[in-house]
Amino acid sequence: MVSGTLFVTLLVAGLASLFMAWAIGAGSSGSTPFAPAVGANAISIMRAGFFVGILGFLGAVLQGANVTSAVGEELIIGTQLSATAAIVALMIAAILVATGIFTGYPIATAFTVTGAVVGVGLAMGGDPAWGKYQEIAALWILTPFVGGGFAYGIARLLRAENIPSRLTVPLLGGIIGLILANVQFVFFAPGEQQGSLSQAAVRMLGGGMVTFAGVSLGLAALVAVVLWRQTVSNPASAQRRFLLALGGLVAFSAGGSQVGLALGPLIPLLGDFQVPIVFVLVFGGLGLLIGSWTGAPRMIKAISQDYSALGPNRSIAALIPSFAIAQTAVFFGIPVSFNEIIVSAILGSGYAASGEDGGEISGGKMAYTVLAWVGSLVGSFVLSFSFFTVIDALL
């Protein structure tokens, strides 16, 4: 039997988690995926907010388990978060993220939640998980260079006058198809395990001539051929459809990554309730959905217009590495900031046209953003550690 006190405590923690999910949906996962498409005038701000909410919900349910487990169980060694610790971490992180939403500066959600969870965990007497911190730090440090660098290279490729778009767009589409063939989903494996489309096809067809590489290359070729035919027929329409498809894939990936930041602190509290992880993910996904529909338009405008005026080519260049980095983070269960991913990619693609009309980068805006990222990590850690220490002493 579960005591009434424990149930009420979990209810409060659940409301804090829902608030965090709303803040994430209104901020990073709700605003960043379609921001380049909005900046390129491929979709309106309100329609982007609507679709990103739906796709983020699906990503949360189908891909959210890895990051959720990592945030809830792998950031601190030797202890599990108590209900009080989870509430403190979630509330402080959510307030900081919400502050960024209403001020127009994208706070790095992963930095904020990670700092808050580590802060309360250490205040409880837990030990640092140095191995996990090294993985997280490596991804966070490499993201601006990898994402921005690839975005720059792709933007230059798309702008090359000696290489026609009927070749570059299908080639990039084939790369996306190759990644899609190996993306992990819960419904491609038994139970609560995850599997890729390639693995499911090999398992269904019994192996033999069908291999992982064959399925992956086959899907890549299919996407490339479809895009080639569309590009030959109507280049502008094909480019717009490709851009919107990329925005949808990034929105889906955002849901799979960001939902874990809201749900992770709840995982240690659910042992007595034996709640299947899929129901927890649905709960978090609904929070993201509501946040995307009610709060995302403000941040979509900020990211799509304030950092760099983007055309279709630079938007495509920004979204391709963003999708790849996001899926890498989901696969390894590493909390990652979508604001960092998208803003870095937008900068990289923007620099490809630096000095030309519409290609300027707001240096002042970026300086304040970087300060907000660093401040969110340090501030959430200090506040969470301090508040929990005070509350624990009073109780």
Tokens of 51: 């679709």
pLDDT in tens, 158-199: 888 888 888 899 999 999 999 998 888 766 666 666 777 787
Q: According to the model, what pLDDT value does residue 119 have?
A: 95
Amino acid at 262: A
pLDDT in tens, 39-84: 777 788 888 888 888 998 999 988 888 899 899 889 999 888 888 8
| Residue 137 pLDDT grade (very low, low, confident, very high; cuts 50, 70, 90) | very high
What is the rounded distance in angstroms from the CA atom of residue 274 to the CA atom of residue 10? 13
What is the rounded distance in angstroms from the CA atom of residue 186 to the CA atom of residue 190? 8
Residue that wins the pLDDT comparison between 141 and 205:
141
Whether the predicted pLDDT of 369 surpasses 70:
yes
Residues in Cβ contact with 214 at an 8 Å cutoff, skipping those fewer than 6 apart: none
């808050």: which residue's tokens?
116
- Selection from 158-167, 291-300, 363-372 with the highest mean pLDDT: 158-167
CB 36 within 8 A of CB 318: yes
pLDDT over 90, % of the chain: 27
Q: What average pLDDT does range 287-310 have in this prediction?
A: 73
Whether the predicted pLDDT of 4 surpasses 70:
no
User: Minimal CA–CA distance to 30: which of 347, 318, 304?
Assistant: 304
What is the rounded distance in angstroms from the CA atom of residue 234 to the CA atom of residue 214? 30
Q: According to the model, what pLDDT value does residue 82 have?
A: 86
- Selection from 62-66, 122-126, 255-259, 329-333 with the highest mean pLDDT: 122-126
Q: According to the model, what pLDDT value does residue 6 have?
A: 66
- The DSSP annotation for 144-171 comes to HHHHHHHHHHHHHHHH-TTS-HHHHHHH
User: Minimal CA–CA distance to 27: which of 261, 242, 362?
Assistant: 261
pTM: 0.86
In residues, how long is the chain? 395
Whether the predicted pLDDT of 1 surpasses 60:
no
Burial status of residue 3 (CB atoms within 10 A of its CB: 0-12, 13-18, 19 or more)? exposed
Residues in Cβ contact with 271 at an 8 Å cutoff, skipping those fewer than 6 apart: none
Whether the predicted pLDDT of 307 surpasses 70:
no
- The DSSP annotation for 91-143 comes to HHHHHHHHHHHHHT----HHHHHHHHHHHHHHHTTPEE-HHHHHHHHHHHHHH
| Residue 222 pLDDT grade (very low, low, confident, very high; cuts 50, 70, 90) | very high
Residue that wins the pLDDT comparison between 31 and 328:
328
What is the rounded distance in angstroms from the CA atom of residue 8 to the CA atom of residue 110? 28
Q: According to the model, what pLDDT value does residue 357 have?
A: 42
What is the rounded distance in angstroms from the CA atom of residue 349 to the CA atom of residue 57? 28
